Amino acid sequence: MNEKSHIIAAIVEHKPGVLYGVANMFRRRNFNIESISVGRTEQSDLARMTITVNGDERTVEQVTKQLNKLIDVIKVSRLDPASIVSREMALVKISAPGAKARSDIINYADIFRARVVDISSESLMVEITGNPDKIDAFIDLMKPFGVKEVARTGITALSRGTKSVRIEE
């Protein structure tokens, strides 16, 4: 099967229980969520879910339809990877006991356009934004120093240009 990663944007009612309904549907139908990020939209009663799913064409088609079937899901769009901006953000805490390690990490972070956001005698925290591959690569690079903790947001994405996944009021 031709499995790959797909990004789905869903505009949903911004109220309690909706995320449960969506997550429940994925579990029940035996679909896997690779990542999900949820937040309020420019309309205060709506939330936007950006869901990354792995699967073949037929599976993703079913995911889209099953999402659409949920009453609290208002609009579902599959985002075309060729015409979107997608980003993930991660906070990475790395062991950095000595000055050498510390300066190495800061140099690497610069190359990845990441920022050091916290520092202590034993560790550094780096904020990095980009596509998931870039974040994976950075984390791999940090492994020899000792990665203590990672928090990733999951992908969030918007289509380029004027096209939008939006509910007209």
Q: Footprint of another protein on this chain (CB under 8 A)?
A: 12-13, 17, 20-21, 24-25, 28, 58, 61-62, 65-66, 68-74, 167
Q: Which is nearer to another protein, 28 or 143 (CB)?
A: 28
| Nearest distance, CB of residue 56 and another protein, angstroms | 12
CB of 95 within 8 A of CB of 142?
A: no
Q: Which is nearer to another protein, 151 or 167 (CB)?
A: 167
| Tokens 């099967």 sit on residue | 1
| Nearest distance, CB of residue 8 and another protein, angstroms | 15
| Nearest distance, CB of residue 48 and another protein, angstroms | 14
Q: Is 79 exposed, middle or buried (0-12, 13-18, 19+ CB in 10 A)?
A: buried
Q: Which is nearer to another protein, 42 or 133 (CB)?
A: 42
Q: Which is nearer to another protein, 40 or 160 (CB)?
A: 40
Sheet holding 46-55, edge to edge: 33-40, 46-55, 4-13, 73-79
Q: How far is CA 168 from CA 5, 46, 62, 69, 158, in A?
A: 29, 11, 26, 20, 17
